[in-house]
């Protein structure tokens, strides 16, 4: 029979041995050091003032009392160093790293997660909670394929629930995309307080932009005859999306249109005339800049139109400038101005 145990190398008390208590105490000391093993540090030289019972992993190129002991566990007991050679499967808590490691036969490695584990919560460099059960704090995240394609699936329980990606800055949401409260795909944005839908695609594949500015403005009534050199405006919106409003009143009646947001717009001006002795009507930006002109000669009922693409700033105004003499038809579907941001 061997003189020491197979795993922890503890000495046996032999039948003919004197001072058996010494051997017993040596075994107890080894048990005390190696059971629930804690490694204070990995060093190449013995520390100056080790604590009784402290253990160290001897690093490469050791010196002093540790020479030729690389890879072993150095144990300070009774004013001297004892050494233990780790075996495959030994586990130790590394105090300086704050990690539990396992000896593989050649190195101490972090204990791996189970290949088919199930966890209530998981945090990677972060702390999960009851709502955010998977938390990752990292400069980037990579989801790679395993030979073919790759999908990320977000599933919700009911149509009225939400399955989305939320984009935040300093923990305040500013953009969201996904299925938010219904089964249509939407993109929403926020100013930090109020949310607005920028785009929606329904199950038929049809796209809508509920806050993209678009309007058709007209003047109420049947007809009117503006004075040459005057300006007139509008009283009603048959279509109004994206926040169009009416601004200051014009001398010829109605009010100027206020542009709600900066950008490019397609503008179409339709002019219907009951009678005319020669006329022109222009769409004026901010009271003076001519954008579109519709004109006609002397005669009875006639219609003209003009359109173009223009860059507007939020707050620009649009009104109609008149020249000549004409009776203008403002019944539904007649004279009006259509605008759409593109």
pLDDT value for 31: 84
Mean pLDDT calculated for residue range 128-143 = 98
For residue 215, the SS3 value is: strand
CB 256 within 8 A of CB 320: no
pLDDT value for 118: 87
Which tens digit of pLDDT belongs to each residue from 150-197?
999 999 999 999 999 999 999 999 999 999 999 999 999 999 999 999
**Alpha carbons 210 and 323: distance in angstroms, whole number:** 37
**Alpha carbons 313 and 243: distance in angstroms, whole number:** 14
**Alpha carbons 111 and 119: distance in angstroms, whole number:** 16
210: confidence class by pLDDT, cuts 50, 70, 90: very high
Would you say residue 271 has pLDDT above 50?
yes
Would you say residue 12 has pLDDT above 90?
no
- Closest to 281 measured CA to CA, from 300, 297, 299, 294: 294
15: confidence class by pLDDT, cuts 50, 70, 90: low
Which tens digit of pLDDT belongs to each residue from 279-291?
999 999 999 999 9
User: Which residue bears the tokens 């395993």?
Assistant: 146
Question: What dihedral do alpha carbons 309, 313, 319, 320 form, nearest 10°?
Answer: -30
**Alpha carbons 250 and 240: distance in angstroms, whole number:** 20
Which tens digit of pLDDT belongs to each residue from 239-253?
999 999 999 999 999
Would you say residue 1 has pLDDT above 50?
no
24: confidence class by pLDDT, cuts 50, 70, 90: low
Would you say residue 258 has pLDDT above 50?
yes
29: confidence class by pLDDT, cuts 50, 70, 90: confident
Which tens digit of pLDDT belongs to each residue from 106-131?
999 999 888 888 899 999 999 999 99
278: confidence class by pLDDT, cuts 50, 70, 90: very high
CB 274 within 8 A of CB 329: yes
CA angle 268, 274, 276 (to 5 degrees): 95
Higher local confidence (pLDDT), 113 or 213: 213
47: confidence class by pLDDT, cuts 50, 70, 90: very high
Query: What is 214-341's CATH number, 3.40.50.720, 2.60.120.40, 1.10.357.10, 3.40.50.1220?
Result: 2.60.120.40
Would you say residue 34 has pLDDT above 90?
no
Q: Give percent of the chain above pLDDT 90.
A: 86
pLDDT value for 5: 64
């Amino acid at each position: 029979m061997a003189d020491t145990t197979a795993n922890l190398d503890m000495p046996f008390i032999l039948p003919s041995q004197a001072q058996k208590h010494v051997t017993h105490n040596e075994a107890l000391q080894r048990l005390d050091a190696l059971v629930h093993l804690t490694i204070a540090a990995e060093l190449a030289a013995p520390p100056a003032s080790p604590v009784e019972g402290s253990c160290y992993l001897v690093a490469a190129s050791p010196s002093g009392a540790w020479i030729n002991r690389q890879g072993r566990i150095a144990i300070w007991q009774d004013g001297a160093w004892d050494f233990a050679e780790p075996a495959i499967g030994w586990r130790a808590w590394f105090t300086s790293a704050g990690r539990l490691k396992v000896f593989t036969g050649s190195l101490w490695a972090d204990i791996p997660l189970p290949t088919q584990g199930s966890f209530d919560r998981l945090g990677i460099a972060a702390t999960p909670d009851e709502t955010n059960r998977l938390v990752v704090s990292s400069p980037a995240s990579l989801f790679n394929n395993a030979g073919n394609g790759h999908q990320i699936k977000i599933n919700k329980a009911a149509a009225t629930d939400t399955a989305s990606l939320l984009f935040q800055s300093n923990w305040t949401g500013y953009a969201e995309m996904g299925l938010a409260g219904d089964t249509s795909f939407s993109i929403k944005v926020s100013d930090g307080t109020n949310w607005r839908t920028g785009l929606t695609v329904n199950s038929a594949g049809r796209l809508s932009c509920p806050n993209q500015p678009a309007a058709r403005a007209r003047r109420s009534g049947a007809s009117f005859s503006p004075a040459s050199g005057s300006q007139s405006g509008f009283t009603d919106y048959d279509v109004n999306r994206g926040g169009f409003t009416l601004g200051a009143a014009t001398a010829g009646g109605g009010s100027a249109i206020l542009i709600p947001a900066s950008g490019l717009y397609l503008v179409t001006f339709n002019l219907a005339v009951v009678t005319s002795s020669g006329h022109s009507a222009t769409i004026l930006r901010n009271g003076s800049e001519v954008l579109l002109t519709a004109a006609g000669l002397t005669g009875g009922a006639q219609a003209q139109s003009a359109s173009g693409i223009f860059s507007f700033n939020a707050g620009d105004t649009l009104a109609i400038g008149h020249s000549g003499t004409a009776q203008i038809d403002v019944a539904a579907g007649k004279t009006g101005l259509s605008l759409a941001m593109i």
